[in-house]
Structure 1
Amino acid sequence: MLQKLGSGNHAQPFRGPFTITRVQPGDILGNETTDTAFGPLAIIDHAVMKKGLTVKMHEHVNDEILSYIGSGVMQHKDSAGFEAPIARGKLMMMNAGASFWHEEKVNEDEVEMLQIFVRPNETNLSPEIQFHDKPVDNHDWYVMVGPEGSKAPLYVRQQVYILDAHPKAGEELVVPTYLGLTPFLYVMNGEIKVQNLTIGKQEALTDLVNPLPPLVANEDTTIVLFFVDMNASMSMDGTISGLKN
């Protein structure tokens, strides 16, 4: 059965120059769980960062973090010595492990982005940082992230795949399947229709039993699609990903 997570469910732990809408994927399950994560998919922070903002150097432990930019340019600096602009089409995966520090700065126009937190399969793994350039307007699905050993360009230390697509208004997309993994579809911007359900910005959809049906874009839309092992072993010690409420 299709289950929808409405945008009215989300809290905003930070407002102002750095506004975060915190999407807790497990909320889509209602009273079926006491955890706010969807398997190892812990949190999607849908953030807007204003020009001139600096988020000072801070530490993450046991978080796997994908930075996905919708618009604008974020300046990244970290404890591994990397400094790089992160923009639409340039992905960054921080596998924090035992300890990883980073700083974020916005020098120009405001940034809209997702910071996606996944619980790793073990505690205190080695810290890593990865980057990948991808197409920016792919109408069909693009695999961005997969487990270690998969063919995905970025790896996460968990049984999780992350894809995106940018269908134009009126286009239909067939949703893929991954054997043994459960889908969680998030609309970053725009609006889609799946059967009789309309899914808008900051809303999500899942089906715990069946594959997701095809979707139709009601307008130009950015979709991020997750496939997760709901029974995966995972560390609960993440700075952000370990939060349960």
Structure 2
Amino acid sequence: MNLIKAQRDQLFEFGPFTIRRQRPGEGFGPLAVIDQMALKTGAQIPLHRHQDDEIFSYVWRGSAQHLQENGESLALNAKRALVVNAGAGIRHEESTPLIETSMLQAYIRPAQSGGEAHVQTFTRAEGVPDNHWTLLAGPEGSTAPMTLRQAVYIYDLKLARGKQLEVPHLPGYASWISVLDGIVRVGEQRAQQGEAVSDSAGLPVISGERDATLVLFLVKHDAPAVSSGTMSGS
């Protein structure tokens, strides 16, 4: 089991954006990039194009706007997550016009290049349930509410202080937990905001030292993947 500390050299700051970028590495195969971002009010990423990226967007504090090229706008917040299957190409814009926002974006390499682009959302009227892992995204054919063109499962968890839970696991999958806020213990490791815990297999029981928000990636590390993505291929 590895603890990925929050290092200064992971940070990029420009204008209203502060981004902590982590690259899980070869042991996580198609999971290419994980960004944790702090966005000030008025931040905007103008209309831009992606291809061959599977993009998972997760807001845990504040609100962001996802604007598609056709003019359709989607609000992302703690109740709504987003997956973009960029496929052969898609253009969109992202902004935080109303409030300062904390957001995670993960870029995953798809199993194959091309295909029709799709935008998917998953909404929970009551937000993230307490002390319960929720499956947000998974491979096509899985029971996940949002689908990825890759052998990756994504869960979230709002863990209360003093609570303890088993971590989901699948044989042949590596595990990566991003700590978005709070402090947790995973086995003997103590992880806080901006840090991550990973293992090439399953992870031990997780407990809340302070109330915490977590995102878990289960990744088939040897899954076939293309490297032609706009972000995931870089």
Q: How does the TM-score come out when normalised to structure 1?
A: 0.90
Separation (CA, whole Å) in 2 of partners of 1:129 and 1:52: 24
Separation (CA, whole Å) in 1 of partners of 2:206 and 2:230: 35
Question: 2:189 — aligned with what?
Answer: 197
CA drift at 1:179: 2.5
Q: Any conservation in 1 of the 2:54–2:107 contact (CA below 8 Å)?
A: yes
Give the aligned residue type for 1:133.
Answer: T
CA drift at 1:10: 5.0
Question: 1:23 — aligned with what?
Answer: 22
Separation (CA, whole Å) in 2 of partners of 1:217 and 1:201: 12
Separation (CA, whole Å) in 2 of partners of 1:168 and 1:10: 30
What percent identity do the matched residue pairs reach?
34
Q: Any conservation in 2 of the 1:54–1:106 contact (CA below 8 Å)?
A: yes
Matched, 1:97 2:90: no
- Superposed counterparts of 1:40-119, under 5 Å: 40-119=30-109
CA drift at 1:58: 0.5
Give the aligned residue type for 1:205.
Answer: V
Structure with more strand by fraction = 2
Q: Any conservation in 1 of the 2:122–2:146 contact (CA below 8 Å)?
A: yes
Separation (CA, whole Å) in 1 of partners of 2:154 and 2:87: 19
Q: How does the TM-score come out when normalised to structure 2?
A: 0.94
Question: 1:164 — aligned with what?
Answer: 156
Aligned CA-pair RMSD: 1.5
Aligned residue among 8, 20, 29 for 1:39: 29
Matched, 1:223 2:222: no
Give the aligned residue type for 1:186.
Answer: S
Unaligned runs of 5+ in 1: 27-34
Matched, 1:142 2:141: no
Q: Any conservation in 2 of the 1:143–1:164 contact (CA below 8 Å)?
A: yes
Give the aligned residue type for 1:120.
Answer: P
Separation (CA, whole Å) in 1 of partners of 2:9 and 2:90: 27
**Helix, strand or coil for the counterpart of 2:111?**
coil
Give the aligned residue type for 1:13.
Answer: F
Unaligned runs of 5+ in 2: none
Distance 1:151 1:9, change over 3 A: farther
Of the structure 1 ranges 172-181 and 230-239, higher mean CA displacement relative to structure 2 is found in 172-181
- Give the length in aligned residue pairs: 232
1:33-79 Cα shifts (integer Å, max 9, x gaps): xx5x7211111111111111221100111110011001111111112
1:14-37 Cα shifts (integer Å, max 9, x gaps): 4330221111122xxxxxxxx5x7
CA drift at 1:144: 0.2
Q: Any conservation in 1 of the 2:173–2:200 contact (CA below 8 Å)?
A: no
Separation (CA, whole Å) in 2 of partners of 1:10 and 1:222: 23
CA drift at 1:12: 2.4
Matched, 1:233 2:224: yes
1:114-152 Cα shifts (integer Å, max 9, x gaps): 011111001112111111103523221000000001000
